[in-house]
């Protein structure tokens, strides 16, 4: 897929003025779809049908394929979706989702092809060589500085999700670092933080299954960024926000029991198609002897340090030790009561056994 993205730029670069390093404009992507693949691109129909407002795109197959794009999207989101559409065509992927986000999954091949097209889009918009150079310069910084990350959002004209997901594709292979990628959603005014997406390469304790109805630790960077966003951004500011206004955050997280440490970097922003919903994305790196050799700013004392746990329901910290607790540790208390019952039963069994043998 990386080589396919390179081939795409080589094949169309001269004719459409998109070299191996220059950003590809939305207009260029639309023109290639129209002139090479015969597409009709519509940016009004979704708006005219409010019931379709949750979709980013809708695709109709035919002699002249038709792609509906939601006009409420940020420009850089529309750009990614156009690049993904080119991925389906350039890679010859026919079994695919026709709506974004898809309403239903018909087969594993559909999932695989959707993944391939999305990967291709990211690789076309954020060329491997350029991103690796940017990452190397970022990792070589002696102290933490969010500006290079924020400058990458602007230079590649992408969202935080696109940028960090691209990191997750390249960093493990080219820097030898395992990482995790987490995306959380939070409805403004609520106390619920929902884990939407995860890629977990470094054995991070993420209670996504057992924790569906539990409260994730409020000290995680993912949740801290969402809380800070809700505290500091007004409704008017949400409407005027651009992707260039999204600040990057950092945290060194240490698990309470295992003492495993993770350097986490991420962003939080409002969602454009989901009113009152904020989203955070982070990548985290397990701290070991090798990480310091790769990320020079890892030990910067200016980076916030936090002791974290899995969920509030499982955490032994007292209210005095953690003022961010969302609920009481009911599961931890239940486990303690279970252990106490077992100890009592074992003691009684031993006592009765001794009486029988006397």
**pLDDT in the model for residue 31:** 94
**Per-residue pLDDT of the chain in tens (358 residues, 90 and over written 9):** 899 998 998 888 878 877 767 788 999 999 999 999 999 999 999 999 999 988 999 999 988 999 999 999 999 999 999 999 999 999 999 999 999 888 888 899 999 999 999 999 999 999 999 999 999 999 999 999 999 999 999 999 999 999 999 999 999 999 999 899 999 998 888 888 888 888 877 666 555 544 457 777 778 899 899 988 888 776 656 666 666 667 889 999 888 877 889 999 999 998 888 878 999 999 999 999 899 999 999 999 999 998 887 777 777 677 777 766 666 666 766 777 788 788 888 888 888 888 887 7
Q: Which residues pair with 254 in a beta bridge?
A: 261, 307
Query: Can you give the chain as a three-state secondary structure string?
Result: CHHHHHHHHHHHHHHHCCCCCCCCCHHHHHHHHHHHHCCEEECCHHHHCHHHCCCCEEEECCCCCEEEECCCCCHHHHHHHHHHHHHHHHCCCCCCCCEECCCCCCCHHHHHHHHHHHHHHHHHHCCHHHHHHHHHHHHCCCCCCCHHHHHHHHHHCCCHHHHHHHHHHHHHHHHCCCEEEEEEEEECCCCCEEEEEEEECCCCCCCCCCCCCCCECCCCHHHHHHHHHHHHCCHHHHHHCCHHHCCEEEEEEEECCCCCEEEEEEEEEECCCCCCEEEEEEEEEECCCCHHHHCHHHHCCCCCEEEECCEHHHCCCCCCCCCCCCCCCHHHHHHHHHHHHHHHHHHHHHHHHHHHHC
**pLDDT in the model for residue 238:** 61
**pLDDT in the model for residue 209:** 46
- Fold annotation for 2-125: Arc Repressor Mutant, subunit A (1.10.10)
Q: Is the pTM of this model over 0.85?
A: no
**pLDDT in the model for residue 330:** 67
**pLDDT in the model for residue 239:** 62
Nearest to 194 by CA among 181, 213, 220: 213
The domain locations on the chain are 2-125, 129-327, 329-358
**pLDDT in the model for residue 194:** 85
Could you tell me which residues come within 8 angstroms of residue 190 by beta carbon, excluding any fewer than 6 positions away?
Answer: none
**pLDDT in the model for residue 159:** 92
**pLDDT in the model for residue 17:** 77
**pLDDT in the model for residue 237:** 62
Contact by Cβ (8 Å): 276, 157: no
**pLDDT in the model for residue 217:** 75
């Amino acid at each position: 897929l990386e080589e396919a993205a390179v081939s795409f730029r080589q094949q169309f670069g001269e004719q459409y003025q998109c070299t191996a390093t220059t950003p590809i404009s939305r207009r260029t992507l639309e023109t290639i779809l129209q002139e090479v693949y015969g597409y009709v691109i519509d940016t009004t129909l979704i708006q005219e049908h409010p019931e379709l407002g949750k979709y980013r795109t809708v695709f109709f197959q035919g002699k002249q394929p038709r792609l509906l794009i939601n006009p409420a999207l940020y420009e850089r989101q529309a750009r990614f979706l156009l690049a993904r559409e080119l991925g389906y065509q350039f890679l010859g992927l026919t079994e695919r989702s026709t709506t974004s986000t898809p309403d239903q999954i018909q087969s594993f091949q559909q999932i695989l092809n959707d993944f391939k097209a999305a990967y291709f889009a990211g690789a076309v918009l954020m060329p491997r060589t350029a991103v690796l150079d940017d990452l190397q310069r970022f990792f070589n910084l002696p102290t933490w500085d969010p500006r290079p990350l924020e400058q990458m959002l602007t230079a590649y004209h992408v969202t935080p999700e696109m940028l960090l997901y691209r990191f997750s594709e390249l960093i493990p292979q080219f820097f030898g670092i395992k990482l995790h990628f987490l995306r959380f959603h939070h409805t403004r005014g609520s106390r619920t933080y929902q884990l939407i997406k995860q890629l977990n390469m470094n054995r991070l304790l993420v209670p996504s299954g057992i924790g569906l109805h539990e409260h994730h630790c409020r000290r995680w960077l993912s949740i801290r960024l969402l809380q800070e966003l809700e505290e500091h951004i007004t409704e008017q500011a949400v409407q005027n926000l651009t992707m260039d206004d999204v600040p990057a955050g950092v945290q060194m997280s240490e698990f309470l029991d295992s003492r495993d440490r993770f350097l986490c970097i991420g962003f939080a922003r409002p969602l454009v198609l989901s009113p009152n919903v904020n989203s955070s994305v982070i990548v985290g790196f397990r701290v070991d002897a090798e990480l310091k050799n790769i990320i020079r700013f890892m030990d910067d004392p200016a980076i916030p340090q936090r002791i974290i746990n899995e969920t509030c329901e499982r955490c032994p910290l007292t209210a005095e030790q953690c003022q961010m607790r969302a609920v009481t540790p009911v599961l931890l208390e239940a486990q303690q009561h279970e252990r106490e019952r077992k100890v009592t039963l074992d003691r009684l069994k031993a006592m009765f056994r001794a009486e029988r043998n006397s």
